[in-house]
């Protein structure tokens, strides 16, 4: 969930704060799924807070879905959907009618299924003091900012991988998205899991999205930066790898993940221009040129057009 693991001091502080809030009189609600070994496989945590009553929330109760997390070893089994569904049902039973959350682009389709929608009016700001949580350290006049506190003060960003695959005639592969009308055709790719390297993510995404196995060594074709936007208040960094040229037997074995893509096409490069936003095609064209020349591409305006 975080860009860096929490230090022991912050874990103790969070545990001490959350434990009494999970009691029957507290404001926290959590649902979990245990893994086979007894560790946590998935969880969803919500916090209830009072608001002024209004016609849409007559009891004056709102809830923030604070976090939803699934252990990497237990993903793609429907666990996130299950714990979120249980959490929302519990909150509705308590007459909560106003809900909010912050999500990643990858998780947004799940929350839309539950009825969440984006709001152009939603704004957010974090203002921190220089004070830290209670510390057991004594005898020092000052201490450096803890690494996790510094990490949380940095601008948020998300790392992705893409894999450029063509047929033997150098026609790029595109996958049609079932959840992203603004970016309808994708290269194979997705966000990195916590602790995952870009190349490991590329290998995983090829397997999960298309049933393909790619072999190294990694060949980086492009680095792509996407600046923050109104509907995406964080920057993105993409690593685009060369997935090679596929023969007809390999193409015949492509199997799509139906919850993400419903069609695969190999088209000449110029045909893709009419099927995708300008920034997506500029990325595709630059990646194609990088493979041809052997010189990695750099783009820093992806997603702005």
Ordered alpha helix ranges (H), the chain: 8-21, 79-93, 108-114, 147-153, 198-210, 248-252, 269-272, 278-293
**Cα–Cα distance, 184 to 157 (Å, whole number):** 22
| pLDDT tens by residue, 78-129 | 999 999 999 999 999 999 988 998 888 878 888 888 888 877 677 767 666 5
pLDDT of residue 128: 62
Choose the most confident range, by mean pLDDT, from 143-147, 191-195, 251-255. 251-255
Residues 209 and 261: beta-carbon distance below 8 Å: yes
pLDDT of residue 137: 44
**Cα–Cα distance, 134 to 270 (Å, whole number):** 60
**Cα–Cα distance, 135 to 304 (Å, whole number):** 44
pLDDT of residue 154: 76
Per residue in 126-143, is it b (16+ CB within 10 Å) or e — as a string?
eeeeeeeeeeeeeeeeee
pLDDT of residue 138: 43
pLDDT of residue 296: 96
Mean pLDDT to the nearest integer, 17-32: 90
Query: Is residue 172's pLDDT more than 70?
Result: yes
Q: What percent of the chain has pLDDT over 70?
A: 87
Higher pLDDT, 171 or 1: 171
Query: Is residue 149's pLDDT more than 80?
Result: no
Residues 176 and 185: beta-carbon distance below 8 Å: yes
Mean pLDDT to the nearest integer, 1-11: 72
Residue 164, beta-bridge partner list: 242
| pLDDT tens by residue, 176-194 | 999 888 889 999 999 999 8
Name the band, by pLDDT with cuts 50, 70 and 90, for residue 11.
Answer: confident
């Amino acid at each position: 969930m975080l860009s860096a693991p929490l230090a022991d001091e912050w874990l103790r502080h969070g545990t001490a704060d959350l434990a009494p809030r999970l009691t029957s009189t507290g404001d926290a609600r959590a649902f979990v799924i245990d893994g086979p070994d007894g560790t946590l496989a998935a969880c969803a945590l919500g916090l209830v807070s009072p608001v002024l009553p209004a016609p849409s929330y007559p009891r004056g109760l709102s809830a923030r879905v604070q976090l939803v997390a699934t252990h990497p070893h237990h993903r793609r089994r429907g666990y996130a959907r299950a714990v979120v569904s249980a959490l929302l049902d519990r909150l509705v039973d308590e007459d909560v009618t106003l809900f909010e959350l912050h999500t990643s682009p990858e998780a947004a389709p799940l929350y839309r299924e539950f009825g969440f929608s984006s709001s152009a009016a939603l704004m957010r700001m974090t203002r921190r003091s220089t004070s830290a949580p209670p510390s057991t350290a004594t005898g020092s006049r000052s201490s450096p900012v803890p690494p996790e506190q510094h990490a949380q003060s940095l601008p948020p960003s998300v790392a992705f991988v893409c894999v450029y695959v063509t047929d033997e005639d150098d026609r790029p592969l595109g996958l049609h998205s079932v959840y992203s009308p603004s970016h309808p055709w994708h290269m194979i790719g997705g966000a990195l899991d916590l602790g995952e390297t870009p190349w490991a993510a590329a290998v995983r995404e090829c397997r999960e999205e298309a049933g393909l196995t790619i072999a190294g060594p990694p060949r980086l074709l492009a680095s792509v930066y996407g600046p923050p936007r109104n509907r995406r208040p964080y920057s993105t960094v993409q690593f685009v790898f060369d997935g090679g040229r596929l023969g007809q037997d390999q193409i015949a074995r492509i199997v799509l993940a139906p919850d993400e893509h419903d069609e695969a096409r190999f088209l000449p490069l110029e045909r893709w221009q009419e099927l995708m936003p300008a920034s997506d095609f500029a990325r595709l064209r630059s990646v194609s040129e990088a493979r041809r020349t052997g010189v990695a591409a750099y783009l820093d305006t992806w997603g702005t057009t």
